[in-house]
């Protein structure tokens, strides 16, 4: 009799009494929100990966401390993360940027910035891939050519030192490499085929050092010294791997010679880098 009554109620009642309601979903909902993997950005390459855009062009809020981007501290030697503070810690130990007295006249007086400012803007406004805090390791070296990024060399050793320190602090991060290299090779007359082969080898080492990383490369359409054959080579490198993409930088403003400006980074380069990144992760 009880079984018959229960069957009747379940079939015929659109809203059966609470004592007869079945809790059937969601099947695996435990009420525990899963914490997403941290996003770890690694800026790599030549001077545009450090930046030559003037801080004086930026808004006051943009050059204040930005907790949304935790940048690796390269001053103390501990390689921990701290709030990004453009003008104080955004570009440290980056040849041809921090060694340029016009750009960095003294310790903690950094007058230029790179992609980090617009990255922080994006995180502050709407987050990046549902993260309201991201991590940043800057590894670039200005005036560098691909030949200088050899195994055992100073630049590659510093890259490994900084990224290895990040590994000890971040649990299973999603590595995102923003890579800008080629202008100094154009200036030096490096044959594009030689450059392409060496860059592929370099990127392979980065992929080994940062398992699961995605790589977003800049092309150079907006840079005065650009050689279109290099842009083609970059596109071919990107086409060689499903975890590498490149962005066209046409229309990005420049300053200080072959460097993107505040508006160039903010309005063109970084929005395209972020869009490309979201297509990979």
Which phi-psi region, left, alpha or beta, contains residue 24 (left: φ > 0; alpha: ψ -120 to 50)?
Answer: alpha
pLDDT at 76: 86
- Are 25 and 161 contacting, i.e. CB atoms less than 8 angstroms apart? no
In angstroms, the CA 16 to CA 186 distance is 75
In angstroms, the CA 32 to CA 213 distance is 28
Average pLDDT, the chain: 90
Of 136, 110, 139, nearest to 46 by C-alpha is: 139
In this predicted model, what pLDDT tens digit does every residue of 141-192 receive, in sequence order? 999 999 999 999 999 999 999 999 999 999 999 999 999 999 999 999 999 9
Structure tokens at 145: 């050519």
Over pLDDT 90: what percentage of the chain?
86
- The answer to whether residue 260 scores a pLDDT higher than 60 is yes
Alpha-helix runs per DSSP H in the chain = 2-12, 47-50, 115-126, 154-167, 183-188, 192-209, 228-239, 262-263, 270-278
- The answer to whether residue 3 scores a pLDDT higher than 60 is no
Domain boundaries, the chain: 38-278
- The answer to whether residue 25 scores a pLDDT higher than 80 is no
In angstroms, the CA 89 to CA 109 distance is 9
- Does the domain at 38-278 match CATH 3.40.50.1110? Answer given as yes
Q: Between the CA of residue 241 and those of 210, 237, 244, what are the distances in Å? A: 15, 7, 5
In this predicted model, what pLDDT tens digit does every residue of 211-225 receive, in sequence order? 999 999 999 999 999
Over pLDDT 70: what percentage of the chain?
88
């Amino acid at each position: 009799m009880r079984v018959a009554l229960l069957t009747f109620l379940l079939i015929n009642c659109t809203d059966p009494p609470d004592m007869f309601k079945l809790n059937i979903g969601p099947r695996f909902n435990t009420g525990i929100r899963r914490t997403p993997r941290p996003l770890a950005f690694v800026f790599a390459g030549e001077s545009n990966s450090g930046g030559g855009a003037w801080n004086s062009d930026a808004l006051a809020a943009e050059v204040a401390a930005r907790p949304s981007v935790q940048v690796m501290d390269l001053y103390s030697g501990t390689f921990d993360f701290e709030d990004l503070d453009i003008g104080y810690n955004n570009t440290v130990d980056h040849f041809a940027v921090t060694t340029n007295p016009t750009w960095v006249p003294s310790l903690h007086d950094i007058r230029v910035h790179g992609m980090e400012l617009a990255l922080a803007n994006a995180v502050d406004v709407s987050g990046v891939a549902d993260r309201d805090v991201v991590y940043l390791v800057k590894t670039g070296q200005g005036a560098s050519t691909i030949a200088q990024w050899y195994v055992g060399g100073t630049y590659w050793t510093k890259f490994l030192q900084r990224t290895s320190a990040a590994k000890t602090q971040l649990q299973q991060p999603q590595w995102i490499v923003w890579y800008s290299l080629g202008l100094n090779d154009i200036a030096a007359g490096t044959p594009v085929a030689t450059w392409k082969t060496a860059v592929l080898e370099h990127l392979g080492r980065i992929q080994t050092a940062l398992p699961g990383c995605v790589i977003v490369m800049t092309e150079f359409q907006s840079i005065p010294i650009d050689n279109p054959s290099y842009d083609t080579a970059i596109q071919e490198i990107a086409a060689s791997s499903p975890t590498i993409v490149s962005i066209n930088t046409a229309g990005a403003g420049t300053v200080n010679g072959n460097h993107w400006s505040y508006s160039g980074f903010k309005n063109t380069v970084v929005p395209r880098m972020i869009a490309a990144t979201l297509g990979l992760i």
